[in-house]
Structure 1
């Protein structure tokens, strides 16, 4: 099912249900190691995300606003492990996602990074990634 632009709002993720994140082993020790992250979904599949720090002067400004991408706002738990604070697809109008109240609330709750997944080809594939990562 394809989201309409008006319906594209980030969904908060329960901390206890968060999938696992890991750096890419092939990039260990390089400058690129901070720029990419695999998130392992409930299916066991890994999903590759590009990582962008939350920017100044406006949060999220460093992340490119790609249409039809899976995007998450990521913070850290008490142990420093990444955790998803908001997750959804951007739809055809990514500014609606980034400027939405739920996304801004995730930033206010401590999101430090924006993770962007561009490899899901089409709305069905993006919906499958979302289900795998948030269990909905």
Structure 2
């Protein structure tokens, strides 16, 4: 599965701790991230991760393009709901695309844990059929 990892500045440490906790599950999948988030996750875990631009520089849109092409299977996006983001329209567009293409999206640690545990149990395998890759 292709999994995107994104975090606003005030949530990056939380996401890094989450990835460390669930590394045995996540390392079995292909990981993508926005710029600084991906760099920090890689430094903390040594997991291979494809990095896009930072969110404000278009990284959210790059991940959104993968969603629109059915090439992203899950997004874990630790958002900071208490801080205004200059690229909020991009964030909203990414969330909308997840709804349009039925891509599971977690915006907080509680939902992310449910998704990752479901991933471990094989409950999200239907994404392989959506993408037409029945064994990837």
TM-score bracket for the superposition, by shorter chain length: under 0.3
Normalized per residue, the structure richer in strand is 1
- State the TM-score, normalizing by the size of structure 1: 0.26
